[in-house]
């Protein structure tokens, strides 16, 4: 029999129905695990002070009405860039240390309305600037598989929370790999919805044209349910789509992938990529073939161009978005910005300045359009494209030192899909040196149902979704 921290969303609900445990018991179980392991992993920055009272209310609701909401009584970890009333929000930056939001973000509102219960806020790269969680002003998060390794980022705390099984599910955000890359390094499932599928209101902005809230979970099945809950038109975010949200969980459970055509991106098998990582991706392609899919090689623009486009666009948008943190309206003075944040503001201000706008920002947007057009053509033939999420497994803590382009190089394989606004899943596809490797399955815009269905079929026919024994790794 599984322990409480090992349960998926459906298994938690089944336990409630069968009166095997209460929400209060489940929450206390997680709080005990957090108390035991968080000092060594540095995952949670703040805990919900009202979580037990909220769990008691959920138990009363279950007793009266049963499981009448999709996420009722599901303990979740929330990335610290989402505004949460009653729980501090800092974006892992000293400039917002002690900040208590006055309103709730759109996606956390939807999670609460669906019955979720928030355990607390998770560590991240400061203002989401990074792919390691090392730029956090509150210290790095440690990878549960090996505490000497990085968990990835910027949603490293949320990914580590699921890997360490300190919550049933988690919320992250992705700008260019910030869900998928930490999910890959921590060996869990991460899902990036299409840009504009989930509202950004109340999510502290990094790059407004690519920021995408999304789930990090134990299974694709859990990720599909959370994505359904948080998706939809947001009256406070004009970039969200009015398209009807499909019932994503209903598309899962396929026994095969007959009729599905998948492209194996040759450019994603980088020349300097480790051979054992390449082999895992090729084995994943073979697995798709065994499940009935047609897998053919496909060519995309060299990923190095995505690095250039993202660097210019993201820094430019950062310089605009962080202008509001002036120490006058809220927060501390700009002296509290970290070094990485200052670098990004300076570079973004430069690329938007008179005389350089056309040479850098405008050109980057033109190349971005070419990437979008290329994906549009490919998805006329293929249902999905696949590749590794990151060139290798988790790196040692300290790897980012004197590496200002660390994040871009570790996210080189996922940046194209992010700047094009596509939807993509990261699922475990094997291990290298005892550390997990992630496979990305990317589909066209607003093809969440297809991306999740393909990933679910792969996940249920492989055995790579595993979790570390913390008593041994720590």
Catalytic machinery residues = 79, 154, 178
Residues in Cβ contact with 173 at an 8 Å cutoff, skipping those fewer than 6 apart: 79, 81, 82, 128, 154, 155, 179, 203, 206, 211, 212, 213, 214
Compute, in degrees rounded to 10, the torsion defined by CA atoms 461, 416, 301, 431: -40
CB 197 within 8 A of CB 446: yes
Distance CA 29, CA 73 (A): 13
CB 165 within 8 A of CB 192: no
How many residues in the chain?
474
CB 206 within 8 A of CB 128: yes
Cα–Cα distance list, 297 to 261, 265, 277, 332, 387 (Å):
11, 6, 17, 51, 11
Distance CA 84, CA 99 (A): 10
Residue 468: how many CB atoms within 10 A of its CB? 21
CB 44 within 8 A of CB 123: yes
Distance CA 46, CA 383 (A): 41
């Amino acid at each position: 029999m599984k322990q409480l921290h090992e349960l998926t969303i459906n298994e938690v609900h089944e336990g409630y129905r069968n009166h095997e445990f209460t929400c209060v018991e489940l929450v206390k179980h997680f709080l005990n695990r957090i108390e035991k392991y968080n000092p060594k992993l540095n995952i949670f920055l703040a805990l919900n002070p009202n979580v037990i009272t909220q769990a008691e209310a959920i138990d009363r609701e279950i007793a009266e009405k049963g499981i009448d909401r999709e996420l009722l009584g599901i303990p979740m970890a929330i990335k610290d860039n989402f505004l949460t009333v009653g729980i501090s929000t800092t974006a892992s930056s000293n400039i917002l240390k002690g900040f208590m939001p006055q309103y709730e973000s759109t996606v956390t509102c939807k999670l609460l309305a669906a019955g979720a219960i928030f355990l607390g806020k998770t560590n991240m790269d400061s203002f989401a600037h990074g792919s390691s969680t090392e730029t956090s002003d509150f210290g790095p998060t440690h990878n549960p598989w090996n505490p000497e390794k990085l968990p990835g980022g910027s949603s490293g705390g949320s990914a580590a929370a699921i890997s360490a099984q300190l919550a049933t599910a988690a919320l992250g955000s992705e700008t260019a790999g910030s869900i998928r890359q930490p999910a890959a390094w921590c060996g869990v499932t991460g899902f990036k919805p299409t840009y504009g599928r989930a509202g950004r209101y109340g999510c502290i902005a990094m790059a407004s044209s690519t920021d995408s809230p999304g789930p990090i979970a134990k299974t694709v099945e859990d990720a599909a349910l959370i994505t359904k809950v948080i998706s939809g038109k947001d009256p406070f975010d004009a970039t969200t789509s009015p398209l009807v949200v499909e019932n994503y969980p209903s598309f899962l459970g396929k026994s095969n992938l007959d009729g599905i055509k998948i492209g194996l991106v040759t450019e994603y098998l980088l020349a300097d990529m480790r051979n054992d990582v390449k082999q895992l991706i090729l084995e994943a392609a073979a697995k798709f073939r065994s499940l009935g899919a047609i897998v053919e090689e496909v060519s995309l623009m060299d990923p190095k161009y995505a690095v250039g486009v993202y660097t210019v666009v993201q820094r430019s948008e950062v310089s605009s978005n962080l202008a509001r943190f002036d120490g006058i309206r809220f927060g501390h003075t700009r002296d509290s910005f970290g070094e990485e944040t200052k670098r990004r503001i300076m570079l973004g201000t430069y690329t938007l300045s008179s005389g350089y706008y056309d040479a850098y920002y405008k050109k980057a947007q033109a190349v971005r359009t070419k990437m979008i057009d290329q994906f549009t053509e490919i998805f006329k033939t293929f249902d999905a494209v696949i590749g590794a999420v990151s060139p290798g497994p988790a790196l040692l803590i300290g790897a980012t030192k004197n590496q200002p382009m660390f994040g871009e190089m570790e996210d080189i394989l996922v940046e194209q899909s992010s700047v094009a606004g596509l939807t993509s899943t990261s699922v475990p596809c094997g291990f290298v040196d005892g550390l997990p490797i992630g496979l990305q399955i990317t589909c066209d815009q607003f093809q969440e149902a297809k991306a999740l269905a393909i990933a679910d079929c792969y996940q249920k026919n492989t055995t790579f979704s595993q979790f570390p024994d913390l008593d041994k790794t720590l």
